Each structure stands twice: as C-alpha cells, then as structure tokens.
Amino acid sequence: MQTSSKPRSLSPAALRVRAVLNQWDPIGVHHIGHGWPDDEYDDLILPILAALSSRPSVEQLADDLRTVVEVDYGLPAPDGCREAARSLLALAQ
C-alpha cells in the first residue's frame, strides 16, 4: 500500500475510513486540538479501500499500515496498527 492523491469527493465508505484514521491518528496531530484538518489522512483512503477489497487478514493490513507510515510518511511505526486494521476490516463487513 502507498499513499495516493486525496479523493475529490468522499463516499460513505470513504468517510468511515477517514473516521477510523482520524481516531487512530498515526502521526499524532489530532491531539493538538481544534483546527487540525479532517483530511490529514485522506491520502490513505483510496489505498485502504483497495486493500479492503482483497480481504486481507488483520496482520496483513496492520503491516501495510505500519509500512505506509514508516516509508511514505517517514515516521517510526505508530502504536495501534493492529487495532486500526481491525476497525477498518470491520467496516468492510
């Protein structure tokens, strides 16, 4: 999985993915307070929706999330990858 362009408009499924990503907050910006953009992680929405269509395991999706943060964002592996993956997979059911 790699980041992509932000979607131009968000479907209901994309909005649910956005909510999970903002709750997970892998780079730790939403704790700063009000004013941080809701679209901070929108570059992950399309790749996640594509990944979900292949029905990955929790471990596969967690590894993909960990890798994209480390490689594309250039940050250390965040906490909560497994929990985020579990929440994202629950959206696909």
Total domains in the fold of the chain: 1
Q: Provide the domain limits for residue 22.
A: 12-91
pTM: 0.86
Structural domain contains residue 83: yes
Structural domain contains residue 79: yes
Structural domain contains residue 6: no
Structural domain contains residue 50: yes
25-69 tens-digit pLDDT: 998 887 776 667 888 899 999 999 999 999 999 999 999 999 999
Give 10: exposed, middle or buried? Use CB within 10 Å, 0-12, 13-18, 19+: middle
Whether 5 shows a pLDDT value over 70: the answer reads no
Structural domain contains residue 4: no
Instruction: Give CA–CA dist 18/42, Å, rounded.
Output: 7
**What pLDDT, on a 0 to 100 scale, did the predictor assign at position 3?**
61
Backbone angles phi, psi at 55, to 5 degrees: 55, 60
The runs of H, that is alpha helices, within 25-80 are 45-53, 58-71
